Homo-oligomer: A and B are copies of this chain.
Amino acid sequence: MDAVGYVRELGRRARGAQRLLARSGREVKDRALLATAEALDAARRELLRANERDLGAARAAGLGEALLDRLEITPARIDAMIEGLSQVAALPDPVGEVERLQVRPSGIRVGRMRVPIGVVAIVYESRPNVTVDAASLCLKAGNAAILRGGSEALHSNQALAACIARGLAAAGLPEGAVQVVDTTDRAVVGALVSSPEWIDLVVPRGGRGLIERIAAEARVPVLKHLDGNCHVYVDDRADLDKALAIALNAKTQRYGVCNAMETLLVAEGVAAAFLPAAAEAFAAAGVELRGCPRTRALVDCRPAGEEDWRAEYLAPILAVRVVKDLDEAIEHIARYGSGHTEAIVTEDWERAWRFLREVDSSSVMVNASTRFADGFEYGLGAEIGISTDRLHARGPVGLEGLTTQKWVVLGDGQIRT
């Protein structure tokens, strides 16, 4: 079958399942999630065996250690998937919630009801756990899911898909509720993202290459997550102890994550008081600094160039710039930032408020580490990704971002005059 025909079959089954899912109550969806957890627990041996096939092929193909690590399913990772399913089952069901019901002068009551989006396609790379994480969030939000994982994880994903199918069956839900693509034909991705008749939303999860390719080809809405070039601005009214703790945490708590700080901006009024101590702390943590000329007048480091202001290092490297004031910090972020997450450290609430209002990023923070930009930290329970798009959902996207709202009108015979 060609890719278009294959996607049409997936799409038909997904559309068929979608209506039943949309009206399924919480207990049915949670039963499917918990039964999937049980199926994973019962299938540990098969999962490891299937994963070993993928790992063997990947080793034979000469894949690097980082990729092999991402691809690997371990007993602890199975535990984490099982735990994730329980967590999603424990989340409140967003579907059917009615918000802001108000009485209008005509006498009608108007509100908004939260409803599933419909059919969501997730396109991801080598981590097989995404299969279970994405399926569970889509299912709880009442969406049918079509999952297309990395070709190197094909056998692992099929083994996980079998567990999900058992979970769906245990709850009486149709197989079309979660479908895992079982071909490595890359044309299937192209057909998925250009089929608005079958797919309502595509969520790509992976490297920049994958996301840009999908965004360029897509004829359906895409929830994408591009770079995280995050900034911390230390204002001259900052508490410098807080500033140091936040800057260190934002850079060093984890390096390879999109909400790590990549550029530190320091107001000139506190540069001399702050930067030498900060440089010492970063040096102790093994972080290489790259500074503007005024930074380099205070601390010994390599010069930063234009490309450093734009870099998402994802590594123990930090660009540092001394700025005149809040305005220059906001200006720097507007020019070089990626719209992900920025923080100001200040005790001046007027300036804090200006930063909150004027910095155009999906998360804007006062006196907190950028590392908090995360679905769990925000109370979403879990996240399908962090959107750097502007519409529908920005920042960490959880269950609510996988739903939409419709208007509901409750009357008792009103007509329009």
Contacts and interface: CB of A to CB of B under 8 A. Distances in A.
Interface of A: 19, 22-23, 96, 102, 104, 106, 108, 110, 113, 115, 117-118, 200-201, 221, 239, 241-242, 245-246, 248-250, 253, 334, 343, 352, 356-358, 360-369, 371-373, 377-379, 390-392, 394-396, 404-416
B407 A106 contact: no
Contacts of A102: 379
Contact of A368 (B253, B396, B409): B409
Contacts of A405: 394
Identify the interface centre among A104, A377, A414: most chain B CB within 10 Å of its CB: A414
B411 A366 contact: yes
* Integer count of this chain's copies in the complex: 2
A377 B364 CA distance: 35
Nearest to A108: B368
Contacts of A412: 242, 367
Contacts of A104: 377-379
B365 A409 contact: yes
Contacts of A396: 407
B246 A367 contact: no
A363 B379 CA distance: 30
A414 B369 contact: yes
A267 B178 CA distance: 35
A107 B66 CA distance: 35
